[in-house]
Amino acid sequence: MSKITAPKIAPGEAPKTYRVKNFGCQMNVYDGERMGEMLDGQGLSAAPDGEDADLVVLNTCHIRERAAEKIYSDIGRMTKGKTQEKAPMIAVAGCVAQAEGEEIMKRAPSVSMVVGPQAYHRLPDMLEKAVKGGRAADTDMPAIAKFSELPARKRRSPTAFLTVQEGCDKFCTYCVVPYTRGAEISRPFGDLMKEARGLVETGAREITLLGQNVNAWSGPDEAGVHQGLDGLIRELAKIPELQRIRYMTSHPNDFTPGLIAAHADVDKLMPFLHLPVQAGADRVLKAMNRNHSAGGYLRLLEQMRAARPDIALSGDFIVGFPGETEAEFEETLQLVDEVRYAQAYSFKYSPRPGTPAATMDNQIPRDVMDDRLQRLQARINRDQRAFNDATVGKVCDVLIERKGKHEGQWLGKSPWLQSVWLDERSGGSAALGDMVQVEIVEAGPNSVQGVARAAAHA
């Protein structure tokens, strides 16, 4: 077997099918879709499920060590045991490409293209070079140039992501995002309205606005008046066929009274808030450079609940940040007890190269982190189950997002972002993109079961 040093495509022969494999956050999902649209524009088509693709784009995440290491094993799997003619052409995109582009080019000769999250609008040129047998890397960060160079949206789905804000200036001491995604920047209001209208025209009924600090979005509207995220949301809510608006991820320090008020009076803004706090002890929050206290975070949630009493809360946690004591960790547990999250994500601290926390004293042993993670997750699961239980008997709208595994079964989302299973035989009929009125009849740990009452509006 020959060592693979170039893609299977013979020089001059272009790949015909592609697959984008997304890792990491929703912003990567959005970028992955846009890369797909660009490749469509180059005459490629998405490889059908289960079939090998001629070109594989690994859209990678660098947030934790394991996420980053995955890409090398994935490359290995795709090329192992395959002759040069059988292995796919490989492009590495996303945050690992940004952080370790040069290393990837050295370590993985089978990779033809390395493209950072701010440079993927140049993918077609890179592909052209790769087709000719060359290799190309582009990890430039031209301030937000990519959006104006991407083709128009053409995906069809009842739910859509829309990146409104990119990058981060917060520099939490554990986090790679400011390095992989660059400086914080807001996309122009008019471009976002245009993209949103395009998404709605192709069938989107729910749009989730995305950004690493999405609530820091700001900019002049079409009349030149300065707006915050609430202004954008209010304008989006005027699009008649758009029925639901969500946004993530927010930072506690970027909330404005206007955005809180929007939760009280914009019906289309869903009662769900993902607001990471990371830890419950102020000393740890300070060492993390979060610039907010646990008390400040709790007061903010109180204001949110006052504006929208049924709001479902979600968060992110890191356990075992360098120096975190048992007592400090218990403050995280107390905070969870106080908030009662509808869902939350929790992670073991992972030292990331180049971040200040990676070289801090008192790195926490793995077994201590394992133990803390388990205890935290037990509480989060308890609260998630309680939240789901409390929705039993409620009647709410469910947006049908996809078919279930069984005949006549559908999966949709409640306003509180719960996954809702529906069975056609239990009453009513449904179709993709329908908003169905549903009674929640049973709760599970990760989803609920509903019975359709009537198709509310298609």
Judged by CB, which is closer to ligand SAH: 207, or 277?
277
Chain residues in the site for ligand SF4 (CB under 6 A): 168, 170-172, 175, 177-178, 212-213, 251
Cβ contact 237:245 at 8 Å? yes
Give the whole-angstrom CA distance, residue 420 versus residue 401: 10
Q: Which does 178 bind (CB under 5 to 8 A by kind): ligand F3S, ligand SAH, ligand SF4, none?
A: ligand SF4
β-strand partners of 245: 207, 269
Q: Is 83 exposed, middle or buried (0-12, 13-18, 19+ CB in 10 A)?
A: exposed
Give the whole-angstrom CA distance, residue 302 versus residue 398: 27
Q: Which residues, in sequence order, are CB contacts of 21 under 8 Å at separation 6+?
A: 56, 57, 58, 59, 74
Judged by CB, which is closer to ligand SAH: 381, or 449?
381
Q: Which does 318 bind (CB under 5 to 8 A by kind): ligand F3S, ligand SAH, ligand SF4, none?
A: ligand SAH
Judged by CB, which is closer to ligand SAH: 175, or 209?
175
Q: Which of 28, 118, 346, 414 binds ligand F3S (CB under 6 A)?
A: 28
CB of 342 to ligand SAH, least distance (A): 17
DSSP labels for 347-413? EE----TTSGGGG-S-PPPHHHHHHHHHHHHHHHHHHHHHHHHHHTT-EEEEEEEEE-SSTTEEEEE
Judged by CB, which is closer to ligand SAH: 130, or 185?
185
What tokens appear for 43 in the block?
């005459």
Cβ contact 370:377 at 8 Å? no
CB of 357 to ligand SAH, least distance (A): 7
Q: Which of 7, 32, 88, 94 binds ligand F3S (CB under 6 A)?
A: 94
Q: In the stretch 36-55, what mask flags binding to ligand SAH with x, by CB under 6 A?
A: --------------------
* Type and span of the H or E element at 227: strand 226-228
Q: Is 56 exposed, middle or buried (0-12, 13-18, 19+ CB in 10 A)?
A: buried
- Can residue 20 be called a binding residue for ligand F3S (CB under 6 A)? no
Judged by CB, which is closer to ligand F3S: 202, or 289?
289
Judged by CB, which is closer to ligand SF4: 110, or 186?
186
Q: Which does 242 bind (CB under 5 to 8 A by kind): ligand SF4, ligand F3S, ligand SAH, none?
A: none
State the alpha helices, DSSP H only, in 174-219.
Answer: 177-180, 189-201
Judged by CB, which is closer to ligand SAH: 110, or 165?
165
- Can residue 316 be called a binding residue for ligand SAH (CB under 6 A)? yes
Stretch that binds ligand SAH, among 11-19, 70-78, 174-182, 414-422 (CB under 6 A): 174-182
Stretch that binds ligand F3S, among 58-66, 77-85, 187-195, 267-275 (CB under 6 A): 58-66
- Can residue 122 be called a binding residue for ligand SAH (CB under 6 A)? no
Q: Which residues, in sequence order, are CB contacts of 246 under 8 Å at separation 6+?
A: 206, 207, 208, 209, 269, 270, 272, 417
For residue 361, report the phi and psi dihedrals to the nearest 5 degrees.
-70, 170
- Can residue 58 be called a binding residue for ligand F3S (CB under 6 A)? no
Using CB under 6 A as the binding rule, the residues of this chain from 207 to 246 that contact ligand SAH are 212-213
Q: Is the peptide bond before 60 cis (omega within 30 degrees of 0)?
A: no
> Binding residues for ligand F3S, per CB under 6 A?
24-25, 27-28, 61-63, 94-95, 176-177, 180-181
> Binding residues for ligand SAH, per CB under 6 A?
63-64, 174-175, 177, 212-213, 249, 251, 276, 278, 316, 318, 347, 349-350, 352
